[in-house]
């Protein structure tokens, strides 16, 4: 399968203690290319920079999917730099949409061109599934209603806690990822989307091949225990 995952940056980042970390004004005034050349700043692939629990679990899922022959593209929505590919090198920074008001998120997202960048990535290839593994503030920054219009009809789009919006599309599903579900899956809310992606990858590794929005939701929500348990997918 061809799978695209739109992940988000995390407050938790791993970088050398002696590296400087930039704020939004420094990023906008200087630009990424110049910041990468700073001798006092580390340059780290996005996948290694973000160390939140969701990002770790999604990373594990990506590794599993690729190991089983699936083609996976992974991008992060960064409040500092916009949409970045997983191997794009970034300097450390301290910018997050979670610290912004709604109007600040809208303004920052427009400066970064987030909606346009994401639509370009989504429409560039014929993906079987596109996961939007994002929280509320990042959905706002992405302008999810507009972004979903770029998902091809033959592609399944997966959102989380976006039931009202997903119901407007035949090819989009919303998987519940709230406190109730976190307790059921023995985790915390901020890690739940990553847990779902791990379940999805594990189910594919056991031979399931989801072909509908219902199948994809079930593969996310079901922890694989045996081949027999996967027979209904």
Instruction: Give the tens place of pLDDT for each residue, 172-183.
Output: 999 999 999 999
**Long-range contacts, 147-151 (Cβ 8 Å, 24+):** 147/115, 147/118, 147/119, 147/122, 148/172, 149/119, 150/118, 150/119, 150/122, 150/123, 151/122
Nearest alpha-carbon partner for 205 in 21, 68, 109, 108: 68
> Cβ–Cβ contacts within 10 Å for residue 85, how many?
14
| pLDDT, tens digit, 9 for 90 and up, residues 34-74 | 999 999 999 999 999 999 999 999 999 999 999 999 999 99
| pLDDT, tens digit, 9 for 90 and up, residues 183-217 | 999 999 999 999 999 999 999 998 878 999 999 99
Pairing outcome for strands 71-78 and 82-85: antiparallel
pLDDT band at 228 (very low <50, low <70, confident <90, very high): very low
Provide the pLDDT for residue 224: 81
Provide the pLDDT for residue 227: 40
| pLDDT, tens digit, 9 for 90 and up, residues 96-147 | 998 899 999 999 999 999 999 999 999 999 999 999 999 999 999 999 999 9
Summarize the confidence of residues 70-95 as an average pLDDT. 96
> How many angstroms from the chain centroid is the CA of residue 26?
25
Coil vs helix vs strand at 137: helix
Q: Which pTM does this prediction carry?
A: 0.93
pLDDT band at 230 (very low <50, low <70, confident <90, very high): very low
């Amino acid at each position: 399968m061809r799978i695209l995952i739109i992940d988000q940056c995390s407050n938790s980042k791993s970088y050398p203690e002696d590296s400087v970390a930039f704020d939004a004004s420094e990023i906008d005034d200087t630009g990424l290319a110049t910041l990468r050349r700073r001798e006092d700043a580390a340059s780290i692939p996005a996948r290694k920079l973000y160390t939140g629990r969701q990002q770790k679990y999604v990373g594990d899922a990506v590794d599993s999917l690729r190991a089983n022959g699936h083609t996976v593209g992974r991008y992060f929505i960064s409040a500092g730099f916009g949409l970045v590919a997983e191997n794009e090198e970034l300097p450390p920074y301290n910018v997050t949409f979670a610290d912004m008001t709604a109007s600040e998120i809208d303004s920052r997202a427009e400066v970064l061109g987030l909606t346009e960048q994401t639509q370009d990535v989504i429409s560039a290839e014929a993906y079987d599934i596109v996961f939007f593994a994002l929280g509320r503030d990042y959905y706002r920054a992405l302008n999810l209603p507009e972004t979903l219009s770029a998902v091809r009809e033959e592609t399944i789009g997966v959102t989380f806690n976006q039931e009202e919006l997903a119901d407007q599309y035949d090819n989009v599903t919303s998987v519940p990822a709230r406190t109730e579900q976190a307790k059921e899956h023995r985790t915390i809310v901020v890690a739940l989307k990553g847990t779902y992606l791990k379940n999805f990858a594990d189910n594919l590794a056991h031979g399931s091949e989801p072909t509908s929005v219902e199948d994809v939701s079930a593969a996310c929500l079901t922890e694989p225990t045996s081949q027999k348990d996967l027979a209904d997918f």
